[in-house]
Amino acid sequence: MSLIVLATMLIYIAISGVPVRQPDEGTGAHLFQIWLVLEVLMVSFFAIRWLPQRPKQVLLVLAIQIVAILAACAPVFYFRL
């Protein structure tokens, strides 16, 4: 899911150019905000469900998820939107 959001943001930037700050952020920003909430819920559910059973494997997956989330958030931080 994180990689899909990253790809969506990069495609949006490639098509529209570097976004500028506007009163209404637009569809891309709203989708990004919805994704953040869903990502937190999904990762939390995954951790709660599997961490007691397979801690080493779950920690590896959580580390990969954190890297993917940071990669998807990087364009937002870079352009300071």
Count each helix (H run) and each strand (E run) in the chain, helices first: 3, 0
Residue 81 has pLDDT above 60, yes or no: no
CB 19 within 8 Å of CB 81? yes
Answer whether residue 1 shows pLDDT above 80: no
Provide the pLDDT for residue 41.
92
Comparison of pLDDT for 2 and 38, the residue scoring more: 38
- Tell me the residue type at 72: A
Tell me what pLDDT residue 8 has: 79
- The model's pTM is 0.71
pLDDT (tens digit per residue) in 22-69? 677 777 778 888 888 998 899 999 999 999 999 999 999 999 988 888
Cα–Cα distance measured from residue 27 to residue 10, given in angstroms and rounded to the nearest whole number: 14
- pLDDT for the residue numbered 28: 73
Over residues 18-23, the mean pLDDT reads 70
d(CA 55, CA 69): 21
